Structure 1
Amino acid sequence: PLDTRARIRVRATDAREGLAKVPDGWAGLVVADVFSGARTPAHLTSAEFLDDVRRALAPGGVYTANLADGPPLTHLRGQIATAASRFAELALIADPAVLRGKRFGNAVLVASDAPLPLAELTRRAASDAHSGRVLHGRELLDFTGGAAPVTDAGAVASPAPPASVFR
């Protein structure tokens, strides 16, 4: 249950359809933590979806996305390239083993046109019980390995996790 004073509204609808209904510049934060089963639907992985996100964000607003992928991290690299085509500032937070492509897991993408609190993100990720690593700047762009931004025409759902992930 959410505190009614938090001014958070939960809508049970397709994320892209719901986002299309919010006014321009309405949101300070858009969180994409969207899965159908264990996969993010294709239509929520494209540059056109991020255009909808940008339209809904207030100036200086932040977009975050929970992204799941495993070796060889093709989906994750494409999502970073897509966000980089739409936002000036990016950071990626993940378990180092996931970033090295050693196992399937989640990563959190943070994007904005305003400067991100990189020192705070790095400190919090490192001090978490399951410590993570933060990539940003040149290191994050290099991580994409030349991946191209994803468009609606070529979008695919995120990869299905191996069965062992849910044991």
Structure 2
Amino acid sequence: MARGQREPMPGLYPVTFGEIELLRDLDRQDGWVLSKDGVPQSYVDLQDPTFLEFDYVRLMADIIDLLPEGPLNCVHVGGGAFTIPRYVSATRHGSRHIVIEPDGLLVNLVREQLELRSVPKLKVIVQGGLEGTAKVWDATTDLFVLDAFNGATMPVELATVEYLGDIARVLRPDGTLLINMADGKGLAFARRLTATVAATFRHVALLAEPGVMRGRRFGNLILAASRTALPVDDLTRRAAGGLTQARCLHSETLTNFVAGAAPIHEGDAVLAPVPPPQVFG
């Protein structure tokens, strides 16, 4: 730890929506994990915010790294340990962040234990994704990151055509949307959410590890979308050759993946998939 910084205290902490466990990474001196109900939610290295432990976060960082150079105006739905805001601030100095997180006590925990004040130009809105996004001005955002989970399940109200339309409203014409979702056998939810995004954004790519992409095991998938072209060739090469070896579907291969799945609308009877117990056991 740097001089003057207080050492985080591992343990269980009550938050607005349950209880969070703060765990030290025994392999990295300044690595910390936030876990809820036995599910790892976030990882952060307090001295090296460019170190990304979780594979799906590395995939998101790969996409962010391929965006045009310079600082970004970012909106993040889902706070956790604020891993992506820390990464973007470290790699793109001068970036600004609005983080929308409904759990105010979780925000306080991260602020007090995990040096949230060290992240420059960051504003937190303590509200749900729908209400918080509605407060963001039109066409002001370069990067919108949707990484919101209740435990290990994505809130379905954030997976609808109507909400995607509000995200499109706040994005600049060349802005980029990143969505972290999770799915398992059959990938029915992933197909529907991909169809939902494609109903709003012309250019869409889907990234995941091969086993997850084939529906052989439960895991995270990353959607990237924009109204302008995505750097899919560079992204395909980077995903295949990185630490997290992943496939990238786009254009015809993505159309085949969706296979006619219907977009999700408000009021649809859709259940987000829940991971089997052995995933985090």
Specify the TM-score bucket, using the shorter chain as the normaliser: over 0.9
**What percent identity do the matched residue pairs reach?**
43
Note closer, same or farther for the CA distance 1:60–1:5 as it changes in structure 2 (3 Å cut): closer
> Which residue does 2:97 correspond to in 1?
8
> Which residue does 1:72 correspond to in 2?
186
Distance 1:125 1:55 in 2: 29
Distance 2:173 2:271 in 1: 29
Distance 1:78 1:28 in 2: 25
> Which residue does 2:69 correspond to in 1?
none
Distance 1:52 1:6 in 2: 22
1:162 paired with 2:276, answer yes
Q: 2:139 aligns with which of 16, 25, 41?
A: 25
* Pairs aligned (count): 167
> Which residue does 1:139 correspond to in 2?
253
> Matches of residues 103-114 of structure 1 in structure 2 within 5 Å?
103-114=217-228
Is the contact made by 1:42 and 1:155 (CA closer than 8 Å) also made in structure 2?
no
Is the contact made by 1:46 and 1:155 (CA closer than 8 Å) also made in structure 2?
no
Q: Deviations over 1:130-153 (max 9, x none)?
A: 300000001101101210010012
Larger relative contact order, structure 1 or 2 (CA cutoff 8 Å, min sep 6): 1
Q: Match of 1:68, as an amino acid? A: A
Residue 164 of structure 1 deviates from its aligned partner by: 1.1
Two-structure CA RMSD over aligned residues (Å): 1.5
Relative to the length of structure 2, the TM-score reads 0.57
Residue 68 of structure 1 deviates from its aligned partner by: 0.3
Q: Which runs of 5+ in 1 are unaligned?
A: none
State the SS of the aligned residue for 2:267.
Answer: helix
Q: Which runs of 5+ in 2 are unaligned?
A: 1-45, 47-85, 100-123
Residue 120 of structure 1 deviates from its aligned partner by: 1.8
Residue 98 of structure 1 deviates from its aligned partner by: 1.0
Is the contact made by 1:63 and 1:111 (CA closer than 8 Å) also made in structure 2?
yes
State the SS of the aligned residue for 2:97.
Answer: coil
Q: Match of 1:120, as an amino acid? A: D
Residue 123 of structure 1 deviates from its aligned partner by: 1.7
Larger radius of gyration: 2
Is the contact made by 1:39 and 1:157 (CA closer than 8 Å) also made in structure 2?
no
Distance 2:139 2:94 in 1: 21
Note closer, same or farther for the CA distance 1:155–1:32 as it changes in structure 2 (3 Å cut): farther
Higher strand share: 2
1:51 paired with 2:165, answer yes
Distance 2:238 2:142 in 1: 21
Relative to the length of structure 1, the TM-score reads 0.94
> Which residue does 2:243 correspond to in 1?
129
Residue 154 of structure 1 deviates from its aligned partner by: 0.5
Higher helix share: 1
> Which residue does 2:216 correspond to in 1?
102
